[in-house]
Amino acid sequence: MIIHNPFIYKIVTNTFYHTSMNTIIAPHGVTDIIHAIQTRNVGNLLKYYGGAILCGEFCYLGHLEPFWNSIFVVTSIIHFRHDFDKIFSISVPIPVSYSLTIAFLTIVNQQSLLWPFFLYMLFVHVPNHYSKSYSFIKLYPVLLGSFISIASVVSDMLLVESISNEVWIAVLSIVIGHIIYEERFIWNNPNHHHLP
């Protein structure tokens, strides 16, 4: 079954959206692999990513895609709230950061406002992600570059106008796995800034 998602259609038919998604936005999660290798946490990385993909497949087979989409939205809110400290250059109270994230995602959910989301990802979220990850990626530039290149190619292969519902659910599942792994092992770990 092919999905007719205006969000995907707009991305794959717009050169700016498509290129930035495949070469910058989608690959940034590969830093999780570097973290898992450095901290000998590969087993948990596989468990969280694999578990998310498995749950997504069950939702697809059980026709529960709306439920999985809701999980994706909730985890995205949790994920993006970390950026507001960076945006405002101060520590933002958690309820405020959640409220701002929900408001932002509600606004950009309108198809005509897709560009603010891409600008946010390109100039806030992804740079903030690499900045916060620097302590554990700085010693692995070649490996990181290789993973980014591979992820870019895979993203370009997956993100096409004729993407199937099953593949789209798998893509969302990978993002959910990324978010859960980071929340569990990176951002909520006070020692991650002190890695060599």
pLDDT digits (tens, 9 = 90+) for 63-104: 999 999 999 999 999 999 888 877 776 777 888 888 888 888
Residue 196 lies in a domain: no
- Specify the pTM: 0.88
* Domain limits for position 103: 6-189
Alpha-carbon span 110 to 112, nearest angstrom? 6
Output the average pLDDT for the chain. Answer: 88
Residue 4, pLDDT score = 58
Rounded to a whole number of angstroms, the distance between the first and last alpha carbons of the chain is 47
Alpha-carbon span 149 to 117, nearest angstrom? 23
Q: Where are the alpha helices (DSSP H) in 62-122?
A: 65-80, 83-88, 94-108, 114-120
Residue 105 lies in a domain: yes
pLDDT band with cut points at 50, 70 and 90 for residue 146: very high
Residue 1 lies in a domain: no
Residue 194 lies in a domain: no
Residue 54 lies in a domain: yes
The most distant pair of C-alpha atoms in the chain lies apart, rounded to whole Å, by: 47
Residue 107, pLDDT score = 82
Q: Which helix (H) or strand (E) element contains residue 61?
A: helix 42-61
